[in-house]
Structure 1
Amino acid sequence: MTLSQLTRTQRAVIRTLPTNFDLTSKLIEQGFALKTEISLAHKAPFNGPLAFHLHGTKICLAPSIAQQIGIEIV
């Protein structure tokens, strides 16, 4: 399952990150590290950005990036 498939009622743990090194390093700087708990805060309409609760804050990602992050439901 990927981060883009997460629903508002679910909590998950990040299991895999993208294979692109530059993108992965940027995500890690923002707090998207392996074994981090994450939940969906908001989905914008018309395939807009997704907002996630992560480390006590909200962070937005494009759906195309969220599709590259593997998760496991808690």
Structure 2
Amino acid sequence: MTLSQLARTQRAVIRKLPENFDLTTKLIEQGFALKTEVTLAHKAPFNGPIAFNLHGTKICIAPSVAQQIGIEIV
């Protein structure tokens, strides 16, 4: 399952990051590290950014990036 498929009521843990080194580095700097717990905050309409709650803050990423992050539901 990927982060883009996460439902509003679900909690998940990040298990896999993108293979692109530069993208993975940027995600880790934003807090999207392995074993981080994530919840869905908001999905913008028309394939807009997706906001996630992690580390006590809300962070938005593009749906194409969220599709590359593997998760496990907890």
In the other structure, the counterpart of 1:73 is 73
In the other structure, the counterpart of 1:57 is 57
In the other structure, the counterpart of 1:37 is 37
Distance in structure 2 (CA, Å) of the matches to 1:9 and 1:68: 21
Aligned residues: percent identity? 86
Distance in structure 1 (CA, Å) of the matches to 2:48 and 2:31: 21
* Equivalence map 1:4-15=2 (5 Å): 4-15=4-15
Cα-Cα RMSD: 0.3
State TM-score, norm by structure 2. Answer: 0.99
Gaps of 5+ in 2: none
Gaps of 5+ in 1: none
Distance in structure 1 (CA, Å) of the matches to 2:16 and 2:63: 16
State TM-score, norm by structure 1. Answer: 0.99
Partner SS, residue 35 of structure 2: coil
